[in-house]
A and B are shown apart, each in its own frame.
Chain A
Amino acid sequence: GAGVSQSPSNKVTEKGKDVELRCDPISGHTALYWYRQSLGQGLEFLIYFQGNSAPDKSGLPSDRFSAERTGGSVSTLTIQRTQQEDSAVYLCASSLGPPNTEAFFGQGTRLTVV
């Protein structure tokens, strides 16, 4: 597609439920990032995928969070047993791969846990 696409754009879920957030990166981009942006906060790195390499999961805040990237393209971020503190905007970005290139961001998924 023309840009990074994220779905859904908004998600309201009950505490304790599991949620899945989807990211479609730009075609041909081998690198994919997930970030979290809480209200009034900066960007928090969550996870990074680069080609077929093992992902960098060092930013995942707890074992309730996981992500996968199928076929080197679409990625899904899963949050199990959601908590109210998980409420945030989850941003996905992709880039061509070399670390010094621009990251293109999606519009984000706004997650609200009630």
Chain B
Amino acid sequence: AQSVTQLDSQVPVFEEAPVELRCNYSSSVSVYLFWYVQYPNQGLQLLLKYLSGSTLVKGINGFEAEFNKSQTSFHLRKPSVHISDTAEYFCAQNTGGFKTIFGAGTRLFVKA
């Protein structure tokens, strides 16, 4: 069955430090991958997406993710985080069907 695993439920990090939020997806013929962010008391918005082509995907707010087929991973990274990056981050996968599956989410805490 299709599943998305976010390996860390919470990630605390100091401001200006680098961060990586890990995501593993289910192997499939067609794979479309997404990262969404949910700021406190707000809805989800798209950070970035991988559909095809270059395995390094750049998104908004300085985030990027790398599609790794051999490891079935799509980890999200940022070289230097800000307090304002504190939010919940969701990895999601669609295999070309009707349903997008979301991971359980990773709560990023950025400390001063």
| Chain A residues within 8 Å of B, Cβ to Cβ | 4, 31, 33, 35, 41-43, 45, 48, 50, 53, 56, 58, 91, 93, 99-100, 102-103, 105-108
Q: What count of chain B residues pass the 8 Å CB interface test?
A: 24
Given contacts A42-B105, A91-B43, A108-B43, 12 further A-B contacts (CB under 8 A): A42-B90, A42-B103, A43-B90, A45-B100, A56-B98, A56-B99, A100-B51, A100-B94, A102-B34, A103-B44, A103-B100, A105-B43
CB contact between A105 and one of B6, B44, B95, B98 (< 8 Å): that residue: B44
Cα–Cα distance between A31 and B104 once the two chains are bound (Å): 22
Q: Scoring B residues 48 to 66 as 1 if CB is less than 8 Å from chain A, else 0, what string do you get?
A: 0101000000000000000
Cα–Cα distance between A58 and B2 once the two chains are bound (Å): 13
Cα–Cα distance between A100 and B33 once the two chains are bound (Å): 8
Q: Find chain A residues with CB under 8 A from B94 CB.
A: 99-100
